[in-house]
Amino acid sequence: MTAVPSAAAVVRRRRVPAAVRRRRLLLAVANHSVLVGVAVAFLAPFALITLTALMTSSQALSPRLWPHPFRWHNFVDVFTTVPFWRWTLNTLEYSVLGTLGVVVSSVPVAYALARLQFKGRQAMFMIVLVALMLPPQVTVVPLYVMWAKFHPFGFQFIGTLWPVILPNWLGDAFSIFLLRQFFLTIPEEYLDAARVDGCGELRILSTVVTRLARPAIVAVALFSFLYTFNDFFLPLLYAGEAPHHWVLSIGLSEFRSLHQVQWNLTMAATLLVMAPVIVIFFLAQKAFVEGVTLTGVKG
Amino acid sequence: MLLLLSPWLAGFSLFFAYPLVMSAYLSFNHYDLLSPPRWVGLANYRYLFTVDPQVWTAVKNTLWLIGVMVPLQVLFAFGIALMLARAKAGAGVFRTIFYLPALAPPVAATLGFVFILNPATGPVNTILGHLGINGPLWFQDPAWSKPSLTILAIWGVGNTMVIFLAAILDVPRHLYESAALDGAGPLQRLRWVTLPTISPVILFAVILGVIGGLQYFTQAYVAAGVASGQASQAADVTSGNLGYPLDSTLVYPVLLYVHGFSDFQMGYASAMAMLLLVVSFAVTLVIVVNSRKWVHQGSAAK
């Protein structure tokens, strides 16, 4: 059955006439021209933002596209005109603590959902899927009320980042889903071998599974780092009015209200916020693409 | 085992089940966070469906996103993925370039686009001007603000594109070869081989797109705030500018935010949240049920 089409393909390939070959070449050229065009359009915003970030304030408001002179000092000014360091530290606090929480809390849940037999497993998995699809706006009002009314020993949660960090330590639906999909692909024999050797489930999880599922765990960590780094809605609700409690995304959106119409500085700040994400991407490109593919194909 | 599940059980009850029940309860109350909730029956829903003039606008804007922005995103991602799959040279470089904008933090990307598409002196209109084209007012024009957001969304479509590309490259070669033997041209192969085989992935992308459309908030919020500051030179980004220009970017989650966290009408915002919940489920259900007609249920759909 399989031999027939491939044999036919060999025959067909031998008899490609010149006209067909020319048409194929033409198609390939057309294909590549469109790709190059779209690629230029996709890179243009980065280029335009960078160029503006290097202009003087008045140049940024003129129709000029090329900075003259190049004002590298803009990147320093960003740190001195607004509390940019403070925002970076706050963002890192949210991203690092949040990502740690997501990984630590989601791995065991995903393992249980993928590998252990117990009553209600299917129902639990369905609930994870539902939680995944639910817009955050649906639960946001009661949660805000909860954090507003909850002040142990007089500690106010509103105005801090804890209401956005803490929930990450109790499992994240997307990460649980992605990890479960990956855990399902681990051959049962490995786990059985560990069980025969006398490993408990906890031991199996912390040694065998985490080692075999490293790409998926790395992907989950990357995604949740990105998600928390980019998050705007939840910090907007909880971080409050004081600029020194803001994260980068909020600071950036309010940048112009703090400093009038300085587009050059705004674009410099924009670039600085984009930079870490892009650097991480180039450092971990393979893990990224594998992770994205994992979300789609195995779904 | 209970130990393994305990974080999720706690998280589920505290951050999912409890707020869901509480949201339903609050939606029948008047609650401003200061005085205790006061039961008002269906009054919030009555106001939501019959009085509030902005709800209909917000619903229409969100529907616009789901009806226009999401399909365009999926189509564009699919087209690029198809071309990438056929690319002979530089496929890796192209893939990186098309994926990169998806990583740009939404607030940063939105700010960048509001500046680039700034009508008077922005680079895009400057370049269009050199070509003799009078550029539109983009984020300043109620008719162009949603299309501008759509361009921004298409720019960030890399995730979907990578997923499509992986699925297209996964289509077994022998299917194409036997189709070619039967005399199918490139278009027919696309229609009868590629599309059916990757249809589960397309369904997945559509569902994710629609869910994303229902919760679309950040870009609309930031674009409205920054564009209105740009117009007035007052540079005052407060909730008073949301929906700028002329409520054209006032999507449903933004309106919910205004009622809940700017006016602190927690009861009314909860009623809005319940409507969003019902609509989210309904839309997802409709897509899943309908998909049985066009999604290929072969070995690929596991």
* Domain assignments of chain B as residue spans, ordered by start: 51-294
Calculate the alpha carbon distances from A114 to A108, A170, A176 in Å: 10, 18, 10
Q: Quick one: pLDDT at residue B232?
A: 59
pLDDT digits (tens, 9 = 90+) for A85-137: 999 999 999 999 999 999 998 998 888 888 888 888 888 888 888 888 788 88
> What residues of chain B score a pLDDT lower than 70?
1-2, 230-240, 296-302
Name the burial class of residue B212, with classes exposed (0-12), middle (13-18) and buried (19+) by CB atoms within 10 angstroms of its CB. Answer: middle
Q: Quick one: pLDDT at residue B270?
A: 92
- A2 shares contact with chain B (CB less than 8 Å): yes
* CATH superfamily for domain B51-294: MetI-like (1.10.3720.10)
CB contact under 8 A, A105 and B237: no
pLDDT digits (tens, 9 = 90+) for A145-177: 888 888 777 788 888 888 899 888 988 888 898
- B106 shares contact with chain A (CB less than 8 Å): yes
The one-letter amino acid code at A1 reads M
**What DSSP line would sit under A64-128, residue for residue?**
--S-SS--TTHHHHHHHHS-HHHHHHHHHHHHHHHHHHHHHHHHHHHHHHHH---TTHHHHHHHH
Q: Quick one: pLDDT at residue B236?
A: 44
pLDDT digits (tens, 9 = 90+) for B63-102: 999 999 999 999 999 999 999 988 877 888 898 899 889 8
Alpha-helix runs per DSSP H in A150-209: 162-165, 173-183, 188-196, 201-204
- CA angle (A36 as vertex; A30, A42 as ends), nearest 5: 140
Q: How far is A233 from chain B (nearest CA, A)?
A: 7
Up-side HSE of residue B83: CA atoms within 13 Å toward CB? 22
Contact criterion met (CB below 8 Å) for B145 and B138: yes
Taking contacts as CB-CB distances below 8 angstroms, the residues of chain B near A5 are 174, 177-178, 181
d(CA B200, CA B167): 10
> What residues of chain A score a pLDDT lower than 50?
1-4, 297-299
pTM of the predicted model, to two decimals?
0.86
Q: Quick one: pLDDT at residue B298?
A: 52
Q: Which residue from A minimizes the CA distance to B155?
A: A42
CB contact under 8 A, B16 and A139: yes
Taking contacts as CB-CB distances below 8 angstroms, the residues of chain B near A273 are 105, 107-108
- A270 shares contact with chain B (CB less than 8 Å): yes
CA B276 to chain CA centroid, Å, is 14
Q: Both tokens of residue A252?
A: 């950036």
Q: Quick one: pLDDT at residue A3?
A: 45
Q: Quick one: pLDDT at residue B36?
A: 83
Taking contacts as CB-CB distances below 8 angstroms, the residues of chain A near B273 are 137-141
Q: Which residue from A minimizes the CA distance to B156?
A: A42
CATH number listed for the domain at residues A82-297: 1.10.3720.10
Q: Please name the member of B162, B170, B217 whose beta carbon is closest to the beta carbon of A292.
A: B162
Residues 84-103 of A with CB under 8 A from B: none
Residues 39-98 of B with CB under 8 A from A: 80, 83-84, 86-90, 94-98
State the ipTM, two decimals: 0.84
CB contact under 8 A, A257 and B112: no
- A170 shares contact with chain B (CB less than 8 Å): yes
> Domain map of chain A by residue range?
3-74, 82-297
d(CA B198, CA B284): 19
Pairing of β B38-39 and β B29-30: antiparallel
Calculate the alpha carbon distances from B50 to A240, B42, B47, B56, B243 in Å: 33, 12, 5, 10, 21
Q: Which residue from A minimizes the CA distance to B4?
A: A108
Contact criterion met (CB below 8 Å) for B242 and B225: yes
d(CA B153, CA B157): 6
Q: Quick one: pLDDT at residue B273?
A: 92
CB contact under 8 A, A256 and B226: yes
